[in-house]
């Protein structure tokens, strides 16, 4: 059974079709990359799957159960969570309070120990904080952190909930080159903990992390396969990569 | 002195003051008014300070409870001690029902919606004179029964108000420390993020709104029996705004802020009785000053100033 299965997803904004019959499956443990030019519907796709936006047609299954029309907090309880293109933390609260808030809903606390088995390897919040190098920043207001620190805090807050799938919307957006390097390393380690869905413009992220890549173009899926093949695909190169890497 | 000791001392002082002021009926009256507004300010603070919603129908809900309490005690001869909780429960459920559509909204949109609801409630008070006696209002509201027989009045009425006010502060402090309170603050900071982190934002807002309506309602019932007279004007939008001002002036989202705001601002209309026009001007000026110059309120700005000074000191230590 696939972890995520999306069938015939359609979304219109007025006369514009943002998503046209998008099909997508994702296996547990897999890291899936999604690329495409600006306005091709990537964020709309994540918004719909994560419950922020309703679809006009189509069905979605998460772990075999329908999540069509589910709200974000219901999805969080099932282990599907996301991050945002623009970093989003409780900037007025301290780092520790941010993490505490995220830990209010811990899936294994509600579903029993069995639900967490095989995924999150039982790492405590303290271990996660050390791994993400946030352990010395606990008392600071989250709003005073650097962008990279906030991105790491965002990750920690998701991991504190022991999710099964994290959808990352441009995880290295706005980071400096050295930070991009570090972020990729962190995400590579994260792959062992849960499934990842990554939207990115930085091809390096996709090339180094993704097991499989999906390409969206004007709301349609035009390619789906291993990164090497997809990034060499004639249509993808001509319509997307060619324009970016010219 | 630690914060806990301060709190205990303040609480004991609040409970002792009615006996100190017993000789001076005017000051005792002003004190009882402050206590009622303290109950209200705590409720307002819970929603405005901790959940981040500004409920302008606050006074309206209080009014519904007060009128319902009077109806139950007069027409059905219920005891105040039964009628007040029942009326408060009813008014709070009614408030939640009215507020249900607006609780999906955030920030300014919720405030606007609550303003409309407040206006409708005020109009309802005027247009259903069977229960409210219309614009004329209801006077000679009987005081509550004393446990030892007769009517509760004078110093014991004031003491009752002080007890309820102290309880309202304690309750507010307790709620804020629970998981529910932490969810409230998450919603205040960023409701979209709170939702993604698994918090059922609409459900928690409804819970908050119900609790807050209970604060409003109980305050409303006590207000009616303390003053002995209510009219639609007692519970109009200006009353809501006044209570909001106490919270905003003192410092929203803190436990002490609303106490400061209420003690400083609630007595003003009574102390400036000869200058009726002036008090409205003062309220208006204060609203502008608070919004522009001290968004955190007196206590909030004080805390911020202290944090800044600490940060500077830490920096200075780091440099040497």
Q: Where residue A122 sits, what CATH number does that domain have? A: 3.40.50.300
Q: Is residue A66 part of a domain?
A: no
Task: Using an 8 Å CB-CB cutoff, list chain A residues near B198.
Answer: 73, 76-77, 104-105, 161
Angle between helices B25-45 and B237-250 (to 10 degrees): 80
Whether A89 sits inside 8 A of B185 (CB atoms) is no
Q: Are B183 and A79 in contact, with CB atoms under 8 Å apart?
A: no
Q: Is the pLDDT of residue A117 over 60?
A: no
Predicted confidence at residue B320, as pLDDT, reads 57
Cβ contacts (< 8 Å) between A161 and chain B: which residues? 197-198
Contact A73 B190 (CB under 8 A): no
Which CA distances in Å does B224 have to B60, B66, B135, B142, B216? 13, 6, 16, 9, 12
User: What average pLDDT score do residues A212-229 get?
Assistant: 90
pLDDT at residue A4, as a whole number: 94
Check pLDDT > 60 for residue A119: no
Within 10 Å of residue B312's Cβ, how many Cβ atoms? 10
Q: Cα(B193)–Cα(B209) distance, rounded to whole angstroms?
A: 21
CB contact at 8 A, B119 and B56:
no
CB-closest option in A93, A97, A102 to B197: A102
Chain pair A-B, CB pairs under 8 angstroms: 58
Domain presence at residue A65: no
* Number of domains comprising chain A: 1
CA distance B180 to B46: 12
Q: What percent of chain A has pLDDT over 90?
A: 63
The answer to the question of residue A51 being in a domain is no
Task: Tell me the C-alpha distance between B237 and B158, whole Å.
Answer: 26
Number of domain units in chain B: 1
- Return all residues near A161 (Cβ < 8 A) that are at least 6 apart: A76, A79, A81, A102, A103, A105, A106, A107, B197, B198
| Chain A residues touching B183 at Cβ < 8 A | 101, 104
Q: Nearest CA of chain A to the CA of B97: how many Å?
A: 22
If one compares A146 and B154, the residue with the highest pLDDT of the two is A146
CATH code, domain carrying B25: 1.10.3470
Q: Which of B204, B181, B223 is nearest to B88 (CA)?
A: B223
Helix (H) or strand (E) holding B232: none
Give the residue ranges of chain B where pLDDT is below 70.
Answer: 1, 318-320
Min Cα distance A81 → chain B (Å) is: 7
Which of A46, A104, A139, A155 has the highest number of chain B CBs within 10 A, making it the mutation to test binding with B?
A104
Q: Quick one: pLDDT band at residue A242, thresholds 50, 70, 90?
A: low
For residue A90, give the nearest of B193, B195, B200 by CB distance: B193
pLDDT at A61: 94
Looking at the predicted structure, is the pLDDT value of residue A105 above 90? Answer: no
B199 touches chain A (CB under 8 A): yes
Chain B hits for A92, Cβ within 8 Å: 189
pLDDT of residue A228: 86
A73 → closest Cβ in B185, B190, B199: B199
User: Min CA distance, B167 vs chain A (Å)?
Assistant: 27
State residue A68's pLDDT score: 92
Give the distance from residue A77's alpha carbon to the nearest chain B alpha carbon, in angstroms: 6
Asked if the model's pLDDT at residue A235 lies above 90, the reply is no
- The answer to whether the Cβ–Cβ distance between B196 and A104 falls below 8 Å is no
What is the b/e burial string over B71-107, where b = at least 16 CB atoms within 10 angstroms of the residue's CB?
Answer: bbbeeeebebeebbbebbbbbbebbbebbeebbebee
For chain A, give the mean pLDDT: 87
Quick check: A195 and A184 in contact, CB under 8 A?
no
Q: Which of A76, A91, A101 sits opposite B186 (nearest CB)?
A: A101
Q: How far apart are CA A26 and CA A210, in angstroms?
A: 12
Strand A212-217 relative to strand A220-225, pairing: antiparallel
Q: Is residue A163 part of a domain?
A: yes
Query: Per the CB < 8 Å rule, is A82 touching B196?
Result: yes
Tell whether A179 is within 8 A of chain B (Cβ).
Answer: no
A164 interface with B at CB cutoff 8 Å: no
Q: Which residues of A touch B190 (CB under 8 A)?
A: 88-90
pLDDT band at A116 (very low <50, low <70, confident <90, very high): very low
* Chain B: residue whose CA lies nearest to A74: B198
Q: Which two tokens stand for residue A33?
A: 């990359």
User: How many CB atoms are closer than 10 A to CB A126?
Assistant: 11
Sign of CA dihedral B238, B243, B247, B249: positive
Tell me the C-alpha distance between A107 and B167, whole Å.
Answer: 35
Rounded Cα distance between A227 and B225, Å, is 75
C-alpha B9 chain-centroid distance: 22
> Cα–Cα distance between B163 and B15 in angstroms, integer?
6
Contact with chain A for residue B205, Cβ under 8 A: no
Tell me if chain B has a CB within 8 Å of the CB of A144. no
Tell me if A77 and B179 make a contact (CB, 8 A cut-off): no
Coil/strand/helix, residue A22: strand
Q: Report pLDDT digits (tens) over A167-196.
A: 999 999 889 999 999 999 999 999 988 999
Is residue A233 predicted with pLDDT exceeding 90?
no
Query: What number of other Cβ atoms are within 10 A of residue B212's Cβ?
Result: 28
The larger pLDDT score, comparing residue A229 to residue A115, is at: A229
CB–CB contact A88 B192 (8 Å):
yes
pLDDT in tens, A37-95: 888 999 999 999 999 999 999 999 999 999 999 999 999 999 999 999 999 999 989 99
Position A110 scores a pLDDT of 46
The reported pTM is 0.88
For B43, the domain range is 3-319
Structure tokens at B293: 């110059």
Q: Do A93 and B200 touch (CB under 8 A)?
A: no
B135 touches A at CB < 8 Å: no
Whether A72 and B196 lie within 8 Å, measured CB to CB: yes
Q: Interface pTM (ipTM) of the complex?
A: 0.87
* Pairing, β A212-217 against β A31-35: parallel
């Amino acid at each position: 059974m696939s972890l995520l299965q999306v069938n015939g997803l359609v979304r219109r904004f007025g006369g514009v079709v943002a998503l046209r019959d998008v099909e997508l499956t994702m296996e547990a443990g897999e890291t899936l990359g999604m690329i495409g030019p600006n306005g091709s519907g990537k964020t709309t796709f994540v918004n719909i799957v994560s419950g922020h936006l309703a679809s006009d047609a189509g069905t979605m299954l998460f772990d075999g159960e329908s999540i069509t029309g589910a709200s974000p907090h219901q999805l969080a309880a099932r282990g599907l969570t996301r991050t945002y293109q623009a970093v989003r933390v409780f900037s007025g609260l301290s780092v520790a309070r941010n993490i505490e808030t995220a830990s209010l809903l811990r899936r294994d606390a509600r579903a029993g120990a069995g639900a967490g088995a095989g995924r999150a390897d039982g790492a405590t919040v303290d271990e996660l904080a050390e791994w993400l190098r946030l352990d010395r920043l606990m008392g600071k207001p989250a709003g005073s952190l650097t962008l990279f620190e906030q991105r790491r805090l965002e990750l920690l807050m998701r991991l504190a909930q022991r999710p099964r799938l994290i959808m990352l919307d441009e995880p290295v957006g706005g980071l400096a080159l050295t930070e991009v390097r570090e972020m990729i390393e962190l995400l590579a380690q994260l792959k062992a903990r849960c499934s990842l869905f990554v939207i990115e413009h930085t091809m390096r992220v996709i090339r180094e992390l993704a097991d499989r890549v999906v390409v969206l173009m004007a709301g349609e899926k035009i390619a789906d396969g291993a990164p090497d093949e997809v990034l060499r695909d004639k249509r993808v190169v001509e319509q997307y990569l060619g324009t970016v890497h010219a | 002195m630690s914060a806990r000791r301060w709190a205990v001392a303040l609480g004991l002082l609040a409970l002792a003051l009615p006996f100190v002021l017993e000789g001076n009926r005017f000051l005792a009256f002003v004190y009882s008014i402050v206590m009622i507004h303290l109950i209200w300010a705590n409720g307002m603070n819970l929603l405005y300070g901790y959940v981040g919603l500004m409920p302008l129908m606050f006074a309206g809900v209080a009014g519904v409870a007060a009128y319902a309490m009077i109806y139950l005690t007069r027409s059905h001869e219920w005891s105040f001690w039964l009628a007040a909780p029942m009326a408060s429960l009813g008014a709070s459920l009614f408030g939640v029902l009215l507020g249900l559509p607006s609780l999906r909204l955030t920030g300014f949109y919720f405030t606007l919606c609550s303003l409309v609801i407040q206006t409708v409630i005020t109009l309802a008070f005027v247009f259903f004179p069977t229960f409210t006696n219309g614009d004329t209002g209801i006077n000679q509201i009987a005081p509550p029964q004393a446990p030892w027989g007769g009517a509760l009045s004078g110093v014991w009425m004031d003491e009752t108000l002080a007890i309820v006010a102290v309880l309202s502060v304690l309750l507010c402090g307790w709620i804020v420390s629970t998981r529910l309170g932490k969810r409230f603050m998450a919603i205040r900071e960023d409701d979209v993020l709170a939702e993604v982190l698994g918090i059922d934002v609409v459900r928690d807002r409804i819970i908050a709104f119900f609790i807050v309506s209970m604060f409003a309602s109980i305050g409303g019932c006590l207000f009616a029996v303390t003053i002995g007279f209510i009219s639609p004007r007692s519970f109009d939008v200006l009353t809501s705004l006044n209570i909001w001002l106490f919270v905003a002036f003192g410092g929203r989202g803190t436990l002490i802020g609303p106490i400061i705001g209420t003690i400083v601002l609630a007595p003003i209309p009574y102390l400036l009785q000869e200058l009726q026009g002036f008090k409205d001007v003062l309220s208006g000026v204060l609203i502008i000053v608070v919004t522009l110059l001290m968004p955190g309120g007196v206590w909030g700005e004080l805390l911020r100033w202290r944090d800044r000074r600490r940060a500077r000191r830490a920096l200075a230590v780091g440099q040497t």
